[in-house]
A and B are shown apart, each in its own frame.
Chain A
Amino acid sequence: MQRPLFPPLPLSRRRFLAGVSRLGLTGLLGASAWDAVAADLVEFPFVNGRRELATNFPQKGAMILQRTRPPLLETPFEVFDQGVFTPNDRFYVRWHLANIPTEIDPATFRLTIRGHVGQSIQLTLDELVRNFEPFEIAAVNQCSGNSRGFFNPRVPGGEWANGAMGNALWRGVRLKDVLDRAGVKAGALQVRFNGLDTGVVPQTPDFMKSLDIDHARDGEVMIAYAMNGALLPLLNGFPLRLVVPGWYATYWVKMLNDIEVLDKPDDNFWMTKAYLIPDTPFANIVPGQKDVKMVPINRMLPRSFFTNVKDGAVLKVGQTTIVRGIAFGGDAALAKVLFSADSDGDWHEARLGPDHGKYSFRQWEVPLRLSSPGSHPLRIKAVNVAGSVQPDRVNWNGAGFMRNVIESVAVQAA
């Protein structure tokens, strides 16, 4: 049981190949409601959870269809067992507004930096690539509402299971370098990001998000022109996307073409009326609780998942099985991943796969040998270096954001 079993990575880049060997198990163990109920259907374990698999979106493979227009496409969970980086053609998709350009000409595309700056500038894509130092970071992009379908009581919205997330190696330039080229003036407070997408009716607020100036200039927030070594799929934001490591994906503005430095707080709809969370630990409140201070969603929480066992999996008594999955630390590096195979709170540290950086998925694995027949609850929890631990009581809020309760599966030993 000593040989590493981390599955092969989708990228051929040499530095990702270290420590990787062949997949030890084929496919997911277990049959449950999570399984495809037909070749092109998936049944999530919540009410009204049947979903179709769609294969007709450009630059995308089979994706779970949540909505056609504007597209909401979920990554089938088995993809996360195939590697620590989510392939571009399986990376989830979430758009708010339906006027999405379907044709983009890099020759005429411009990125504008304007507002409270010394001099407004417009950059071509070639200028962005050539005139700034390249920057790379591996980071998880997770929808604020990932796992919303599991909320109880249920809340309206995109009824995702756990696949509204993905991990990529982002390549581009630091936002700080681009802002410095324009020259941020004293008194700048925030930086606002806008993409090419717009609403269908003029009354719909344009989708824009802002970051505080110090965050925007922290040297990690970046403008990506490639993910996993390829140009971005159009539905993931071609040609440019903001990358905000450790923060929820609502800030990762797609088709980014306009950056405005503000000398006052952004009061646009998407910052002040939408994507708000209770200002409480884990954004948790009691259903129906009122008079809670609401703040813009921000830093991600740690999470961990099983990727090769599901509810109802049958394991042989006395035989060792490698149970594995992925984890991430949220806004801070993963410190450890803890595994439990009993309900007594007996937690054991899982082995961790190669480290691709503090904001990346990291694979974990545990050799599991069940000695008695029957049902066994398996649980997994991530702990980050800032001390944040996944809670064993479910966190809840009225918008369905930031779920990060400990995940569990019940396996059968026979």
Chain B
Amino acid sequence: MNTNLRHIALIWTIPVLLGIALAAGSTWPGTVDSAPAVKEAAKGPVQKWVKVSVELPASQTPFPPGDGAVIANAQCLICHSAGMVLRQPPLTQDEWVGEINKMRNAYGAPLAADQIDGLAKYLRSINDGQSSKGPSAMDGQGG
């Protein structure tokens, strides 16, 4: 069990009757002026809102060594970890240029224009597999 769960807000109580919920006042639905809503809510599980505090894991995976790794580690990791980049299908260098430009133009990556080609070459080299294929089919939108 994750230690974070100690801080987490999932407090379970058994379903209680409407009357008990009204009397207690501290559990949903509690004391309410909207009787039909209370009656309906009381049919479901009764829960209590509690502060949630969790810790999200940090990525332990930097970009692999190579010309361009310094740029990738300095720039790409500002907004996202390396994992999804390393799990891409083999893209051509031009397609990587397209991805990098999307990051610059659509998402505001502070990457200098003269870094684009070097970074694209590096990303292609670490994600190799099919350097020559047909014309690019991707449409380059976000999402």
Contacts and interface: CB of A to CB of B under 8 A. Distances in A.
Interface of A: 46-48, 51, 54, 56-59, 65-72, 97-98, 100, 102-107, 125-126, 129-134, 136, 144-145, 149, 153-159, 171, 199-205, 226, 229-231, 234, 238-239, 250, 269-270, 273-276, 287-288, 397-399, 401
Given A48-B87, A125-B49, A288-B134, A102 B54 contact: yes
Interface string B33-68: 110111011001101011111111111010000000
Contact of B53 (A103, A132, A200): A103
B89 A270 contact: no
A68 B142 contact: no
B74 interface: no
Contacts of A136: 44
Given A68-B57, A133-B40, A103 B80 contact: no
Nearest to B57: A56
Given A130-B32, A159-B88, A58 B139 contact: no
Nearest to B129: A47
A48 B37 contact: no
B121 to A, nearest CB: 17
A276 B141 contact: yes
29 contacts: A46-B89, A57-B56, A58-B2, A58-B8, A59-B2, A59-B4, A59-B8, A66-B83, A102-B54, A102-B55, A103-B51, A126-B49, A129-B41, A130-B38, A145-B143, A153-B137, A155-B89, A159-B88, A171-B44, A201-B107, A201-B108, A202-B108, A230-B47, A231-B49, A239-B52, A270-B142, A275-B141, A288-B136, A399-B143
Contacts of A274: 106, 141-143
Nearest to B42: A134
A326 B120 CA distance: 41
Contacts of B129: 47-48
